[in-house]
Amino acid sequence: MKNIINKKNIDTTKQPLFFGEDLNLQRYDKYRYKKIFDLFLHQMSFYWRPEEIDLGGKEKTDFISLTDHEKFIFTKNLSYQILLDSVQGRGIGHLLNDCSNPELEAYCKAWEFFETIHSYSYTYIIKNVYANPSEVFDEILTDKEVLKRTTSVTKYYDDLINSVNEKDVNNKKKKLYLTLVSINILEGIRFYVSFACAYAMAQNKKMEGNAKIISLINRDENLHLAFTQTVLKYLKDNKDEGFKHIVKECEETVIKMYEDAAKEEMEWAAYLFKDGSILGLNETILVQYMKHLTNKRMRAIGTKPLFPDTPNPINWIQNWTESKRVQNAPQETEIESYKIGSFDQDMGKMDVDGFNF
């Protein structure tokens, strides 16, 4: 039986991340993994609200002046992002069922809240630029191309959620591990076709408020990616975590998961650009970008990359995707009069070196 508070005086610095003793107090005076606690502080310092970005005036006129295929690309990308963040905003709590590390618990609580901010941001964007916002939401789960990818995004969470009463710890570990990999793919690959489209529009001086919100979401997703990369590495390398055999056993499945995700995202790019492209971006560029990102994400968790070496074909995208640039470049968009608290904070002192964004 599990207890909400374990009354035993457990030293959690000696416990694994998962499947150790039940947690006792939420205390952060000593850590097994200080890096995870730093990521928690980092996430907290990023606090933002979509209302800080003005979507009136120019944003509305921009939207009206988009061509039909640009409107299609814009709306479909938002639709897919709404699905992804709905999954994350609801799913993360399930990672904690067998958590035995307080800093990981803290990080996940903050993480989940930020995913809910992301979901709310999409509603904020949609309410501001569409005449009939409900129509946009109502159509998301009727789109065959969105539905096609829903299963691979949700499958591992569903397996994990349904394993609560499972007796075999190894089976539970396997389901948790594959869910973490699936999240790593979501945070590090699946968002990026949509992100690239939003930034390409802003590079052309269109929908810049939207791109600003997306870049704030992107900054959070970078951090989430850093977290999953870190945890996957601990599970792979630290014998005490008790996952080494699981990691080995799942090797082929993991490669297949990256392969499927890359393929699905490339198909998504084809769908988006079926009637026309955005200046500076097209299907061929996005396919190459997906190969580049997939290789990068696989390398970061110690897996051999799937594709031959592929350089990043979108040289300007780092202006938007790299968190430091995001913090330094608010003047590039229409929001120069806005000052977001977290832009001013010095993040350099924290122990987040070596994360592969």
CB of 61 to Fe ion, least distance (A): 28
| 105/221 with CB nearer Fe ion | 221
Q: Which of 80, 107, 122, 199 is catalytic?
A: 122
Q: Which is nearer to Fe ion, 92 or 287 (CB)?
A: 92
Q: How far is CA 77 from the centre of its chain?
A: 15
| Smallest gap from residue 81 Cβ to Fe ion (A) | 8
Identify which of residues 221 and 264 has a Cβ nearer to Fe ion in the complex.
221
We find the least distance from the C-beta atom of residue 217 to Fe ion, in angstroms, to be 6
Q: Which is nearer to Fe ion, 105 or 115 (CB)?
A: 115
Query: Can you give the chain as a three-state secondary structure string?
Result: CCCCCCCCCCCHHHCCCECCCCCCCCCCCCCCCHHHHHHHHHHHHCCCCHHHCCCCCHHHHHHHHCCHHHHHHHHHHHHHHHHHHHHHHHHHHHHHCCECCHHHHHHHHHHHHHHHHHHHHHHHHHHHHCCCHHHHHHHHCCCHHHHHHHHHHHHHHHHHHCCCCCCCHHHHHHHHHHHHHHHHHHHHHHCHHHHHHHHHHHHCCCCHHHHHHHHHHHHHHHHHHHHHHHHHHHHHHCHHHCCHHHHHHCHHHHHHHHHHHHHHHHHHHHHHCCCCCECCECHHHHHHHHHHHHHHHHHHCCCCCCCCCCCCCCCCCHHHHCHHHHHHCHHHCCCCCCCCHHHHCCCCCCCCCCCCC
192 labelled catalytic: no
Please report, as ranges, the residues that interact with Fe ion according to CB under 5 A. 85, 115, 118, 187, 221, 224
Measured distance CA(288)–CA(275) in Å, rounded: 20
* Least spacing, CB of residue 105 vs Fe ion, in Å: 17
* CB-nearer residue toward Fe ion: 117 or 254: 117
Shortest distance, position 235 Cβ to Fe ion, whole Å: 19
Q: How far is the CB of 222 from Fe ion (least distance, A)?
A: 9
Nearer to Fe ion, 15 or 218 (CB): 218
- What positions carry a catalytic annotation? 122
